[in-house]
Chains A and B, each alone.
Chain A
Amino acid sequence: AQTVTQSQPEMSVQEAETVTLSCTYDTSENNYYLFWYKQPPSRQMILVIRQEAYKQQNATENRFSVNFQKAAKSFSLKISDSQLGDTAMYFCAFMKQAGTNAGKSTFGDGTTLTVKP
């Protein structure tokens, strides 16, 4: 079974600064997908960024980028130029590409990020 670990329960950052959220995972799979989801206080989860394990290039979506280290099974999220609207709980998620439970995402415990003005 896959496990996803987010070692930082809470983090804070000043507005306009950069913050990195950590995520590690454990799997014996070679092909899989990794995601970061954001859950603002309004509670609906929103997909932030996605990474395919077979791609070495790190995914980037505007101010959000990842540092994907496949050998180390690490998938951190960097938020640049933090904005007050980035305040939310962030979940890292793992999904197998094929076989049993393919399509089912396993989530980490989440990191609560507070952006301070």
Chain B
Amino acid sequence: AAGVIQSPRHLIKEKRETATLKCYPIPRHDTVYWYQQGPGQDPQFLISFYEKMQSDKGSIPDRFSAQQFSDYHSELNMSSLELGDSALYFCASSYDRGVFGYTFGSGTRLTVV
């Protein structure tokens, strides 16, 4: 069965650089979520999209932006990277707005040096 695909798996960037993370949700899932997970921490909600429209926004820095495209894939753009942005970034998708739970991707490990 198709899963949530995230790319890249690993990314190393220098401070003040820009990073773009991509997510391809499961076909026919109507909602995409982005979460940030620091080492040993719980996932923190960043932003979500329902049917390609932004639906909720969490603790996402102004340096970050995200969008969902016509083919339903989503991108998280992160600019002016800081050391503290180093984390695992998960994308998840769901249908029926998450009432049956999320399917997560494998995550993108971002390291800012």
Contacts and interface: CB of A to CB of B under 8 A. Distances in A.
Interface residues of B, number: 26
A80 to B, nearest CB: 21
Interface string A104-117: 11111110000000
Interface of B: 31, 33, 41-43, 45, 48, 50, 55-56, 58, 88, 90, 92, 94, 97-107
27 contacts: A33-B101, A37-B104, A43-B88, A43-B106, A44-B104, A44-B106, A45-B43, A45-B90, A47-B103, A50-B101, A91-B42, A95-B99, A97-B99, A102-B97, A103-B31, A103-B48, A103-B50, A103-B55, A103-B94, A103-B98, A103-B99, A104-B98, A105-B33, A105-B102, A107-B42, A107-B43, A110-B42
Contacts of B41: 109-110
A75 interface: no
Interface string A87-106: 00001000101001111111
A47 B45 contact: no
B39 to A, nearest CB: 11
Given A95-B98, A97-B99, A104 B45 contact: yes
For chain A, the bracket of interface size reads 20 to 34
A43 B48 CA distance: 21
A35 interface: yes
Given A43-B106, A44-B105, A107-B43, 18 more contacts: A33-B99, A37-B104, A45-B90, A45-B102, A45-B104, A47-B103, A97-B99, A101-B56, A102-B97, A103-B48, A103-B55, A103-B56, A103-B99, A104-B48, A105-B33, A105-B45, A106-B45, A109-B41
A101 B31 CA distance: 13
A102 B45 CA distance: 13
Interface of A: 33, 35, 37, 43-47, 50, 91, 95, 97, 100-110
A102 B97 CA distance: 8
A44 B104 CA distance: 7
Given A44-B107, A45-B104, A104 B42 contact: no
Closest 7 CB pairs of A and B: A103-B97, A47-B101, A45-B104, A107-B42, A103-B98, A44-B106, A104-B56
